[in-house]
Amino acid sequence: MVACVDAQRDTYGVESICQHLPIAPATYWRHKAQLADPTRRSVRAQRDAVLKREITRVWDEHEQVYGAEKVWRQLRREQIPGARCTVLADRTRHPGAAALVIALSVCLDVLRRRGRR
């Protein structure tokens, strides 16, 4: 959506484009501000970006053959916290690797709230 608005915003303006798309102008501008300054993103989004880089690094260092379980175990060995129960396939960077994970921090947040981490 943002790319579509970017392509036409000089001609039509953001507000008039957003009237015809399912995106509010404020959402567009917030997304652009977060791209310019990543510290404006939520703490969880920032943490997920760090985890994604770490997971990709581990996967690449091990010749891109590690699956979700081994990536998670390697991250634990390196003292990088991430929850095994909240993993997603990273199909954009590694199209054929359905088992490759991006550990999200949902379970980690739950564990912190419960006082376990």
Please tell me the distance from the alpha carbon of residue 31 to that of residue 84, in angstroms, as a whole number: 29
Give the integer Cα–Cα distance in Å for 38 and 45.
Answer: 9
- If asked whether residues 54 and 80 sit together in one domain, one would say yes
Query: pLDDT of 69-104, one tens digit each?
Result: 788 888 889 998 877 765 554 434 554 444 334 443
Residues 68 and 88 occupy one common structural domain: yes
Residue 106 confidence (pLDDT): 45
Print the domain residue range for 24. Answer: 2-40
Query: Cβ of 4: how many Cβ atoms within 10 Å?
Result: 11
Condensed to tens digits (0 to 9), the pLDDT of residues 19-47 reads 888 889 999 999 999 999 999 999 988 88
Task: Please list, in sequence order, all residues whose beta carbon lies within 8 angstroms of the beta carbon of residue 45, skipping any fewer than 6 positions away.
Answer: none
Q: Note whether 32 and 10 are same-domain residues.
A: yes
Task: Report the alpha-carbon distance of residue 38 to residue 48 in Å, rounded.
Answer: 12
d(CA 55, CA 59): 6
Q: How many domains does the chain have?
A: 2
Same domain for 110 and 89: yes
If asked whether residues 32 and 51 sit together in one domain, one would say no
Within this chain, do residues 74 and 104 fall inside the same structural domain, yes or no? Answer: yes
